[in-house]
């Protein structure tokens, strides 16, 4: 009986993959693939490792079970969308998940690495690998990274300790995860030379920043930015500015500005989270964007996104980039509309106000697909115009760019921020937009076209082409929001 039980256990046990830090045992899937949840790619960033660059984990020799769900990184509850992640969070959160398709053991398949969104202050990587996109012949990886102040805080004491730099630890976590992919993904059937990094919202911003970060070069071959750019149209912060913000945050947590690093690292997670949501961010109307300002720390990011793009200092990797027809509302609502336009469009503000119908005595130009004028302003400034600015920079450098606007919603609903994600990770049903097919084509070949799909033309300064994913299907369009966005060239 004992022998029989052992034999049955051997048959039903999940596959073991010997990653370079140690073996992991995943869950075998009915279709022949496997899923590995919670592979550690760095030491827990706790105690003396809080607010430091991630370190390789201590090696292990016996297979670690990578089957159950794992903790998210610490975050407050911002609503139902992140409640489970916030409740089930821990500082020990630097894990990645992998899902492989059937018969991947000896293959060299393209790899899709997903970086989750959530304002860089919330969200989780868990759950992404439940997608069956792998059945289209790709290996799927989802990564986690430190969030909020734990991932982005700068402070003079930390800078002195770390050679004159601090902050952007979250981006370093992602770099560590991408380095793990380069070292290990072949053992899971993936091709390290065909890695596409993709993300939505803050995840898309992080993807964009890796395209600008020198230390990220060579860690990926292609990129997808869904509703996010290097700066969301917001001015970046210098290291000094982020250090000053860090001092304000530390004061809000009950410590003096001059607290040594040991005291900073002894703060409870609860105090840090409470303080980051209490601190006022200079020059930001909406403090929820606190960790969406790119931080020019001199280590991960060496210059502003605008200067790096203008000078061609970025990874020349094929890019899919786009927005949703409606994303997020304008902070402050209609009362803030004219002031926002005057601040954001500068010398072009009068022309922009005229286009929006907001000049004195004008009639606001609402749109049945893009929403009322305040929604258009918010989405032009934060999403559409920055997307066009990035597209221009890449096309100017001769890099293949495919631009899109997603404008599909089931009957009775409206498109909104993150609407497109489900169509990427779930196979399309009849009448739904074929995003997954385009995305998989791009992951496989660096070009979204093939398989009888409507032609998606490359973006260029001449064509200004984009694909509109509309209610009636994909449609070739040109000059997305041209009259407005020619007035604003900020990524």
CB contact burial 217-254 (16+ within 10 A = b; e otherwise): eebbbbbbbbbbbbbbbbebbebebbbbbbbbbbebbe
Interacting residues of 339 by C-beta distance below 8 A, sequence separation 6+: none
CB atoms within 10 A of CB 429: 7
Tokens of 3: 């022998």
* Spatial contact of 382 and 374, defined as CB atoms under 8 Å apart: no
CA distance 58 to 92: 14
Interacting residues of 234 by C-beta distance below 8 A, sequence separation 6+: 284, 289, 292, 293, 382
Please give the distance of CA 397 from its chain centroid, rounded to a whole number: 23
First CA to last CA across the chain, in angstroms?
A: 67
Sheet with strand 465-470: strands edge to edge: 27-28, 34-40, 95-100, 139-143, 109-115, 190-200, 222-226, 319-324, 401-406, 465-470, 473-478
Pick from 139, 146, 164, 145: which is nearest to 154 by CA?
Answer: 164
Q: Which of 131, 201, 216, 391 is catalytic?
A: 201
> Roughly what angle, to the nearest 10 degrees, separates helices 239-252 and 269-278?
110
Tokens of 12: 């039903």
Active site residue 103: no
Q: Which residue has the tokens 């005057």?
A: 342
CA distance 391 to 405: 13
- Give the residue numbers marked as catalytic: 201
């Amino acid at each position: 009986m004992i022998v029989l039980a052992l034999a049955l256990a051997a048959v039903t046990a999940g596959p073991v993959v010997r990653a370079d830090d140690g073996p992991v045992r995943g869950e075998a899937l009915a279709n022949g693939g496997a899923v590995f949840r919670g592979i550690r790619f760095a030491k827990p960033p706790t105690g003396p490792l809080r607010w430091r660059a991630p370190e390789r984990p201590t090696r292990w020799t016996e297979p670690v079970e990578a089957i159950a769900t794992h903790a998210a990184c610490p975050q407050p509850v911002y609503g139902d969308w992140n409640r489970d992640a916030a409740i089930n969070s821990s500082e020990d959160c630097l894990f990645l998940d992998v899902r492989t398709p059937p018969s991947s053991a000896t293959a060299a398949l393209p790899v899709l690495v997903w970086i989750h969104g959530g304002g860089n202050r919330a969200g989780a990587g868990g759950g992404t690998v439940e997608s069956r996109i792998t059945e289209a012949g790709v290996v799927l990886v989802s990564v986690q990274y430190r969030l909020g102040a734990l991932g982005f805080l700068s402070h003079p004491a930390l800078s002195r300790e770390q050679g004159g730099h601090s902050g952007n630890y979250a981006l370093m976590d992602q770099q560590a995860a991408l380095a793990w992919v380069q070292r290990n993904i072949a053992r899971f059937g993936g091709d390290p030379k065909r890695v596409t990094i993709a993300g939505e919202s803050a995840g898309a911003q992080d993807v964009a920043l890796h395209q600008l970060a020198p230390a990220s070069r060579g860690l990926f071959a292609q990129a997808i930015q869904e509703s996010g750019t290097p700066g969301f149209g917001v001015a970046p912060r210098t290291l000094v500015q982020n250090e000053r913000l860090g001092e304000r945050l530390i004061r809000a947590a009950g410590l003096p500005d001059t607290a040594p690093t040991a005291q900073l690292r002894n703060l409870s997670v609860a105090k840090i989270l409470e303080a980051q949501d209490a601190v006022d961010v200079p020059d930001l109307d909406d403090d929820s964007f606190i960790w969406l300002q790119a931080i020019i720390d001199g280590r991960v990011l060496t210059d502003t996104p605008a200067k790096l793009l203008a000078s061609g200092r970025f990874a020349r990797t094929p890019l899919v980039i786009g927005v949703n027809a409606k994303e997020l509302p304008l902070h402050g609502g209609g009362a803030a509309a004219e002031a926002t336009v005057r601040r954001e469009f500068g010398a072009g503000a009068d022309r922009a106000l005229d286009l929006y119908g907001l000049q004195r005595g004008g009639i606001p130009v609402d749109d049945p697909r893009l929403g009322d004028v305040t929604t258009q302003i918010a989405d032009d400034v934060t999403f559409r115009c920055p997307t066009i600015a990035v597209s221009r920079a890449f096309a100017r450098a001769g890099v293949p760019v495919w631009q899109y606007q997603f404008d599909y919603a089931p009957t009775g609903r409206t498109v909104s921020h993150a609407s497109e994600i489900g169509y990427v990770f779930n196979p399309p049903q009849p009448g739904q937009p074929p995003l997954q097919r385009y995305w998989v084509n791009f992951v496989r070949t660096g070009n979204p076209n093939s398989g009888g799909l409507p032609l998606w033309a490359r973006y260029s300064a001449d064509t200004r082409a984009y694909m509109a994913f509309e209610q009636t299907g994909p449609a070739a369009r040109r000059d997305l929001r041209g009259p407005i966005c020619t007035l604003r060239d900020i990524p």
